[in-house]
Amino acid sequence: MQIPEIDPREAQRRCLLGATLVDVREEGERAAGMAEGALGIAYADLTASPDSHLADRDGELLLICQSGRRSLLAAEALARMGYARVACVQGGTALWAAEGLPMWRPEPGIDQDFHERYARHLLLPEIGSRGQRRLQAAQVLVVGAGGLGSPAAFYLAAAGVGQLRIVDDDKVDRSNLQRQILHVDEDVGRSKVASARSRLAALNPEVSIEAVEARIDSGNVEELLAGVDVVIDGADNFPTRYLLNDACVKLGVPMVHGAVHRFEGQVSVFDAGRHRGESPCYRCLFPQPPAPESAPNCAEAGVLGVLPGVIGLLQATEAIKLILSLGEPLRGRLLQFDALAMRFRETRLPPDAACTVCAPGLDFPGYVDYEEFCNGRG
């Protein structure tokens, strides 16, 4: 689809003859100055509901951004929607100003921190201000402030997820520092959630950090899941993973699972509570827990320090995608990573029609003694 591109002086001439000039940059960008006479409508808002902004599909529209790329994408989207006379301004606002054409500055009153902090997100048409506000309104439960929870929480806070509830009952040990990047040497002996709250607040003071120093169990799991959009499974033991899975299925909350062992890790999204019969749960992958001797924890088997960073970042990515309904989450797929071979492998995970927790039409069976279950006595 070929979109006409015109120079700024021609755009100004057409505006004087009645064409509508639309600046598709974000509000924070437009605050620095706009082409005189332009309407400010962010790309994401314009392409999501063009009729609410531009009712006349036959009128001449001229789109402008900073340099020309976003305006071209917006023009192509509008043309596909039936807008008959759409063109782009070559060189964007930068060339408009360089040629000495009149500019104007909108009235102050924008949230400058929001636009500066998330500027690179706001440039992405798939996110924009609307998506960033969705992140800002979201709440994520991070179970574990250790190897997986550390990178996941860091990047969720940096991305602007508005509320992080972090649950862990452990203290910082010096052996943690090789991989648990939320903590530093002076935190040794301090509770992990307190250390996490300090570090994340320093990174992004706009994010609300709820630090819960407790061990998650069947008595508090539903309270901890209240109001949560996504769960990050950073647990280091099977009883907690099975408990989280069962509660997430019952309450319809997606769980982003992650696990590491020596030089290998895995990630998946278990979302059976919202997609019964379509998406598996953790029990579909592991109907029975592996024997303890076949799945030792990091303290017993060791782990490459950078490996939880890779897996935790993938978990944060999946959480952001779920919040924004963006892309293709890892539902029904297990992504496995071999650090020594530097290789990813994907395995399809179909839902188990006989699953004891997520089978379609099955009532929630109730919580069990997960310690006994995982020790082979349940």
Indicate whether 53 and 105 sit together in one domain. yes
Q: How many domains does the chain have?
A: 2
> What does the pLDDT read at residue 29?
87
| Beta strand 139-143 pairing with 230-233 | parallel
Ranking 27-31, 165-169, 312-316, 367-371 by mean pLDDT, the lowest is: 27-31
Taking the C-alpha atoms of residue 343 and residue 251, their distance in angstroms, rounded to an integer, is: 35
The answer for residues whose C-beta is within 8 angstroms of residue 2's C-beta and 6 or more apart is none
CATH number of the domain that 209 lies in? 3.40.50.720
Taking the C-alpha atoms of residue 261 and residue 145, their distance in angstroms, rounded to an integer, is: 17
Structure token pair of residue 333? 């797929």
Nearest of 264, 337, 262, 265 to residue 301 by alpha carbon:
262
- From 92, 111, 130, the end of a domain falls on 111
> What does the pLDDT read at residue 15?
93
Cβ distance 62 to 19 under 8 Å?
yes
> What does the pLDDT read at residue 299?
67
Indicate whether 104 and 196 sit together in one domain. no
Taking the C-alpha atoms of residue 313 and residue 250, their distance in angstroms, rounded to an integer, is: 27
Ranking 24-28, 264-268, 330-334 by mean pLDDT, the lowest is: 24-28
Indicate whether 104 and 144 sit together in one domain. no
Classify residue 160 by its DSSP letter. Answer: T
Residue 127 lies in a domain: no
Taking the C-alpha atoms of residue 254 and residue 287, their distance in angstroms, rounded to an integer, is: 19
Indicate whether 90 and 236 sit together in one domain. no
Per-residue pLDDT at 86 exceeds 80: yes
Taking the C-alpha atoms of residue 373 and residue 218, their distance in angstroms, rounded to an integer, is: 13
Residue from 248, 281, 284, 298 carrying the catalytic annotation: 298
What CA dihedral angle connects 48, 50, 51 and 52, to 10 degrees? 70
Residue 129 lies in a domain: no
* Span 96-107, pLDDT tens digits: 999 999 998 876
Per-residue pLDDT at 377 exceeds 80: no
> What does the pLDDT read at residue 28?
82
* Span 160-206, pLDDT tens digits: 999 999 999 999 999 999 999 999 999 999 999 999 999 999 999 99
Indicate whether 155 and 61 sit together in one domain. no
Structure token pair of residue 328? 């293709």
Structure token pair of residue 161? 């997820």
Indicate whether 170 and 319 sit together in one domain. yes
Per-residue pLDDT at 208 exceeds 60: yes
CATH number of the domain that 95 lies in? 3.40.250.10
Q: How many H-runs (helices) and E-runs (strands) does the chain carry?
A: 17, 15
Taking the C-alpha atoms of residue 204 and residue 316, their distance in angstroms, rounded to an integer, is: 16
* Span 4-34, pLDDT tens digits: 999 999 999 999 999 999 999 988 888 888 9
Range of the domain at 276: 138-374
Q: Is 25 helix (H, G, I), strand (E, B) or coil?
A: coil
Average pLDDT over residues 330-339: 98
DSSP string, 192-238: HHHHHHHHHHHH-TTSEEEEE-S---TTTHHHHHTT-SEEEE--SSH
Indicate whether 38 and 172 sit together in one domain. no
Average pLDDT over residues 264-291: 93
Average pLDDT over residues 109-123: 84
Indicate whether 185 and 301 sit together in one domain. yes
Burial (Cβ within 10 Å: 0-12, 13-18, ≥19) of residue 175: exposed
> What does the pLDDT read at residue 180?
96
Cβ distance 79 to 54 under 8 Å?
no
Indicate whether 217 and 328 sit together in one domain. yes
Segments in the chain forming alpha helices (H): 8-16, 27-30, 43-48, 50-53, 69-80, 92-98, 112-117, 119-122, 128-137, 149-159, 192-203, 221-225, 238-251, 282-285, 298-301, 307-324, 370-374
pLDDT band at 370 (very low <50, low <70, confident <90, very high): very high
Per-residue pLDDT at 281 exceeds 60: yes
Residue 330 lies in a domain: yes
298 is catalytic: yes
Cβ distance 53 to 46 under 8 Å?
yes
> What does the pLDDT read at residue 218?
95
Mean pLDDT of the chain: 93
Per-residue pLDDT at 35 exceeds 70: yes
Taking the C-alpha atoms of residue 238 and residue 224, their distance in angstroms, rounded to an integer, is: 18
Cβ distance 164 to 208 under 8 Å?
yes
CA 191 centroid distance within chain: 27
Residue 337 lies in a domain: yes
Indicate whether 340 and 220 sit together in one domain. yes
Indicate whether 149 and 104 sit together in one domain. no
Residue 122 lies in a domain: no
The answer for residues whose C-beta is within 8 angstroms of residue 269's C-beta and 6 or more apart is 254, 255, 256, 257, 279, 318, 322, 329, 330, 331, 333
Give the rounded percent of residues in the chain with a pLDDT score beyond 90.
80
- From 96, 111, 126, the end of a domain falls on 111
Taking the C-alpha atoms of residue 15 and residue 38, their distance in angstroms, rounded to an integer, is: 9
- From 111, 129, 152, the end of a domain falls on 111
Indicate whether 47 and 84 sit together in one domain. yes
Cβ distance 132 to 158 under 8 Å?
no
